[in-house]
Structure 1
Amino acid sequence: MNNAMVKYIIGGILRIEAVLMIIPLIVSFIYREDSLYQLSFLIPILFLTATGYLLSRSKIEERQIYAKEGFVIVSLSWVLLSFFGAFPFVISGDIPSLIDAFFETTSGFTTTGSSVIQNVEALSHSMLFWRSFTQLVGGMGVLVFALAIMPQIGSESVHIMKAEVSGPVFGKLVSKLSSSARILYLIYLSMTAIMVVLLLFGGMNLFESLLHAFGAAGTSGFGIRNGSIEPYDSAYIETVLSVGMILFGVNFNIYYLILVRHVKEAFSSEELRWYFMIIGSAFLLICLNLFSTYHSFGRMFRDVFFSVSSVITTTGFLTVDFGHWPLFSRVILLLLMFVGASAGSTAGGLKISRVILLLKSAFAEFKRIRHPNRIVAVQYDNKTVDRDILRRVLNYLLVYLVIFISLILIVSLDFSDFETAFGTVVATFNNIGLGFSTLGLTGDFSELSGWLKVLLSFVMIAGRLEIFPMIILFSPSTWKK
């Protein structure tokens, strides 16, 4: 383990978090909040700056890092960012409990959207901004942002990006990794800015537009009103957010290909076709199921389209309590929660590319059973998929299922019914944020015990980083010399 490089990079990450906290500090001045709120950000800023500086002063004899260091750097960074990011909430008193604040901040950075705050409208503007801003930063990835502005880390930082970017396969956009990171963030921030402008046209003020755009861009869904998006009751706002969530659920490599005018290659993506096919099929099936329950077809189309967009991208914004919909519709939405959106997007879930590969692999196995002497290759995007990639996808699914079942068993110690325990794991491990049964659809996790909130905080990070970085972090062999 190259401890010196690990400390050096984490030190840089902590200093970046200090810089990010300056923005909500400015918000607190703009809204002329009590001096306590300025101190709530100033104290962590000074602490993070000093700690980051001390860690980055480590003497580095060897700059090379490998996959193990990449996993440790990413997972440890997310834990520390979430922990220190909780300090403003605690110091200000808006979330007095450190455990609750850690849960809330982790939920933001991991773009989960689960919350322990029962009355979100009681938060100050600066705390609302910081809470939502964590979604924007975590959406594309904290380490991707770091690589975009810290190119001095070196070419070996590919191991860091591999550990943080979602999906079964990682690919650079251009030969230089720091340039790839900058391109991703420029696309990401440009799309967010466009959404802010569109929401302004819908009647939201600048503050509301920014925070809702952050939620849609990060596919997290932290609302700034107690009823999420429902209180706005605007077809225009719902349409902008629905389309926005879907677009942020697309692999960002597609947008890069469009920018460099490789449009045909971009739209030939098999994952992209499946993504829109799944959205369209879910929308149609749920509409047919709800046909007799709605008095207005327009209202039904609005609610179904928004709900499908929010759920498949694991955002969690709400305009209607679909917990009261027929079981058939709820099962479809539950399946979407597991599938998630595209690899290389800001969404959670298993990712559509993995689902495609799993289905094709199973189909190929049936063919081999029927024709033992036949060589059957799995094709994806008109290319033969390497067996090593298929093996990794199958291994990921196995590990996912084992951990998922184990978490249900552990969580069941704190609940009396299966639906709530199951929903809690789905909400946090898949980074969807929506609760079930006694938690309510809005996902109010405030009544959970302290130990469970801590556990679920780490579960959210594990889900966002797709499990293995967290396993590596807590593996004793990782720290052996």
Structure 2
Amino acid sequence: MKNLNFKIIVSFLGLTSMLNGFFMLIAVPFSIYYNEPEKLGILQAGLTTILLGFLLWFFNRKAKKNLGKKEGYIIVTLGWLMLSFTGTLPYVFTGAIPNFTNAFFETISGYSTTGSSILTDIESMPKGILFWRSATHWIGGMGIIVLTVAILPLLGIGGMQLFMAEAPGPSADKMHPRITETAKRLWLIYFSLTFVEFFLLKFAGMTWFDAINHAMATMSTGGFSTKNASMAHYNGMPIIQYIVTAFMFIAGTNFVLTYFALKGKIYKVFKSEEFKYYFFGVIGTTLIITLIIINFQDPNLVTTIDHPKPWGSNESAFRHAAFQVVSVLTTTGFVTADFTMWSSLATMIMFSLFFIGGSAGSTSGGVKIVRHIIIIKNSVLEFKKLLHPNAIIPVRYDGQGIPKNIVFNILSFFVLYMGIFIISSVILSLFGLDFQSAMGAATSSLGNIGPAIGSVSPVDNFNHLSIPAKWMCSFLMLIGRLELFTVLILLTPFFWRKN
């Protein structure tokens, strides 16, 4: 294999940095509107990021346009690191989060759409910084790499390798034969749904600032809120929580299916095997949690974050159950209640959802539902093969046989995922976390979920973690967002060998 084209890699990192800087500048008008002194720090951060990106691009703009698989993996991983490091500048330059470790944790939590936070008083933060914090979610939701793929043809660069490395989860569906058109349509759907949710939340009673921030955090399945109590702040406004629940569900659905639904091809949505498991799984789990809350909830427990009183009705039990099930399953991480107070059974059910994730082709994290479907089907086939060892029985999904290499890839992913979860839990326990908190922090970071169990429950945050633990969680957020292989392949010796 030919040598790596390092110039095109650096050139692309420059483009990524410039785009990130322009997004930072969007936060400046918010700071000006609220007459905040931090506007100068945000402006400085944006201009610095743009200048850095311009220099990287300018001195490598004449690089050869050939882009192979290896360059694709390097660009995606380093691109996310570039976003995360430059994304800390608004926090550092304004003094909102002066500690670099904390600033990096908050930033990569945003871009990876994890939603874990080190902030102890969110509502005291400057509005410009809060908008930037939510914007990191929105940028990372669909992936700034995919956004850039849409403009790469203007530079004479093909983008298929980047899209394949960035696309969230296995998906055989295609919206359009040209990857550039696919990226553009994905972003159009993403932007449109964000705007619709913003309008509905504003109409339902949120301020325009809170509405736009929560809309960005919802559609990215991120979970950063502008309120200390997260969505529990709106426990007295059920319509807002129902709107957010609906859009979290949409965000956790394969965007290709969303595209078909918007085109009026509803039959394609319900033909999807993954969507049927997703849809009925949400309904079934919600009903189970609702019954647990109604029948087994101790009324003396503090069941909601900002309202320490018993449940007022079956409706509220259903609403909080639905909200938390969808929030955890889609890895959004918004909270309306502390689900760890819903009895040990409910806590175990919620914790099990941490390992499922949303649909492939959505902005959610986790293992993804389609992988679980194929793993279960393959396991059932193994029993059949014990009785019929000579039979050739393929794993079928959506009525089609799945090639063995895809099945093996999914099995490898799951084994690797669980292995990383176990090892990282042990490492985090060595960094001072108790057993439950270590597991919670590990699975939350790896699955890009946010609130977990133990000392990182919905009523806590990650500020108390040691510096090594924060960096460990940051690494887990990165590899979880890029689905393990994209990052970990760079750590293998054979990746760097010349063939």
TM-score scaled by length of structure 1 = 0.96
Aligned partner of 1:472 among 477, 489, 493? 489
2:243 to 240, 243, 267: 240
In the other structure, the counterpart of 1:33 is 36
CA contact (8 A) 1:9 1:153 kept: no
Q: Is the 8 A contact 2:431 2:468 kept in 1?
A: no
CA contact (8 A) 1:114 1:443 kept: no
Structure 1 residue 367: Cα displacement = 0.8
Alignment partners' CA distance in 2, 1:447 and 1:426: 17
Q: Is the 8 A contact 2:432 2:466 kept in 1?
A: no
Say which of 165, 182, 185 aligns to 2:184. 182
Report how many residues are paired.
Answer: 479
Report the Cα distance in structure 2 between the residues aligned to 1:153 and 1:443, rounded to whole angstroms. Answer: 46
Corresponding residue for residue 391 of structure 1: 408
Q: CA deviation at 1:365?
A: 1.1
Match of 2:294 in 1: 291
Following the alignment from structure 1 to structure 2, what is the Cα–Cα distance between the partners of residues 435 and 267? 32
Bigger RCO of structures 1 and 2 (CA < 8 A, at least 6 apart): 1
Amino acid at match of 1:137: I
Q: Contact 1:308–1:333 (CA<8 Å) still a contact in 2?
A: yes
SS in 2 for 1:310: helix
Deviation at 1:458, TM superposition (A): 1.8
Corresponding residue number in structure 2 for 1:345:
362
Q: Tell which deviates more after alignment, 288-297 or 374-383.
A: 288-297
Q: Residue 162 of structure 1 contacts residue 170 of structure 1 at CA under 8 Å; is this kept in 2?
A: no
Partner residue in 2 for 1:199: 201
51-60 vs 352-361, greater mean Cα deviation: 51-60
What is the CA–CA distance in structure 2 between the aligned matches of 1:362 and 1:95, rounded to whole Å?
48
C-alpha displacement of 1:64: 1.7
User: Hey, what does 1:12 align to over in structure 2?
Assistant: 15
Tell me how far apart the structure 2 counterparts of residues 291 and 313 of structure 1 sit (CA, whole Å). 24
**Residues 58-457 of structure 1: pairs in structure 2 closer than 5 A:** 58=60, 60-152=62-154, 154=156, 156-169=158-171, 172-233=174-235, 234-292=237-295, 293=297, 294=311, 296-457=313-474
Query: Contact 2:45/2:93 (CA < 8 Å) preserved in 1?
Result: no
- CA spacing shift, 1:154–1:160, aligned 2, 3 Å: farther
How far, CA to CA, are the matches of 1:59 and 1:215 in structure 2?
Answer: 34
Sort the Cα spacing of 1:343 and 1:154 in 2 relative to 1 into closer, same or farther, 3 A: farther
The answer to whether the 8 Å contact 1:337/1:430 transfers is yes
1:135–1:215 CA contact under 8 A, matched in 2: yes
Instruction: Using the TM superposition, name which of 71-80 and 156-165 deviates more.
Output: 156-165
Between the aligned partners of 2:290 and 2:409, the Cα distance in structure 1 is: 37
- Is 1:48 aligned to 2:49, yes or no? yes
Amino acid at match of 1:11: G
User: In 1, distance between residues paired with 2:49 and 2:91?
Assistant: 16
Q: Give the Cα–Cα distance (whole angstroms) in 2 for the partners of residues 153 and 107 of structure 1.
A: 31
1:68-97 C-alpha deviation (Å, 9 max, x unpaired): 211111111111111111111111111110
Does the residue aligned with 1:21 lie in a helix, a strand or coil?
helix
- How far apart are 1:355 and its partner, in Å? 0.6
**C-alpha distance in 2 between matches for 1:303 and 1:259:** 28
Question: 2: distance between equivalents of 1:476 and 1:21?
Answer: 37
How far apart are residue 2 of structure 1 and its match? 1.3
Shift of residue 149, structure 1, vs aligned partner: 3.4
Q: Secondary structure at the match of 1:453?
A: helix
| CA distance in structure 1 between the partners assigned to 2:495 and 2:395 by the alignment | 34
Let me know the Cα RMSD of the aligned residues: 1.6
C-alpha distance in 1 between matches for 2:105 and 2:213: 19
Question: Using the alignment, how far apart are the partners of 1:370 and 1:185 within structure 2?
Answer: 49
Contact 2:428 2:472 in 1 (8 A): no
Pick closer, same or farther for the CA change 1:426–1:96 going to 2, 3 Å: same
Q: In 1, distance between residues paired with 2:265 and 2:233?
A: 41
1:255 offset after TM fit, Å?
1.8
Q: Which amino acid aligns with 1:389?
A: I
Displacement of 1:346:
0.8
Q: 1:59 to 1:155 in 2, by over 3 A?
A: closer
Structure 1: distance between partners of 2:14 and 2:152: 12
Question: Structure 1 pair 418/189, CA: closer, same or farther in 2 (3 Å)?
Answer: same
Deviations 1:207-258 (A, max 9, x none): 0100111111111111111111112221100100011100110000012223
| CA distances 1:297-352 after superposition (whole Å, capped 9, x unpaired) | 11111111111111111111111111111222111111111101101101111000
Most deviating of 207-216 and 395-404: 395-404
| Distance in 2 between residues matched to 1:291 and 1:38, nearest whole Å | 48
Does structure 1 retain, via aligned residues, the 8 Å contact 2:219–2:251?
yes
**Could you say which residue in structure 1 is the equivalent of 2:300?**
none
Segment of structure 1 superposing worse, 449-458 or 374-383: 449-458
Q: What is the letter of the counterpart of residue 40 of structure 1? A: G
- In the alignment, the residues of structure 1 paired with residue 465 and residue 99 of structure 2 have an alpha-carbon distance, to the nearest angstrom, of 13
2:354 maps to amino acid: M
| Counterpart AA for 1:257 | F
Output the amino acid matched with 1:183: R
Contact preservation (8 Å) 2:219, 2:248: yes
**What letter is aligned with 1:7?**
V
SS of aligned partner of 2:230 = coil
Asked if the contact 1:435–1:444 (Cα under 8 Å) also holds between the matched residues in 2, the reply is: no
Segment of structure 1 superposing worse, 53-62 or 22-31: 53-62
* Cα displacement (A) at 1:60: 4.2
Flag structure 1 segments of 5+ consecutive residues without an equivalent.
none
Amino acid at match of 2:439: F
User: Following TM superposition, by how much is the alpha carbon of 1:170 offset from its aligned partner in structure 2, in angstroms?
Assistant: 5.8
User: Contact 2:16 / 2:82 at 8 angstroms: preserved in 1?
Assistant: no
Distance 1:7 1:251 in 2: 32
Q: Distance in 1 between matches of 2:119 and 2:491?
A: 30
CA distance in 1, matches of 2:97, 2:472: 18
Range with bigger deviation, 435-444 or 64-73: 435-444
Task: Name the CA shift for 1:55/1:199 in 2 (closer, same or farther; >3 Å).
Answer: same
Q: Percent identity?
A: 36
Tell me the TM-score normalized by structure 2.
0.93
| Structure 1 contact 435–441 (Cα < 8 Å) conserved | yes
Amino acid at match of 1:212: H
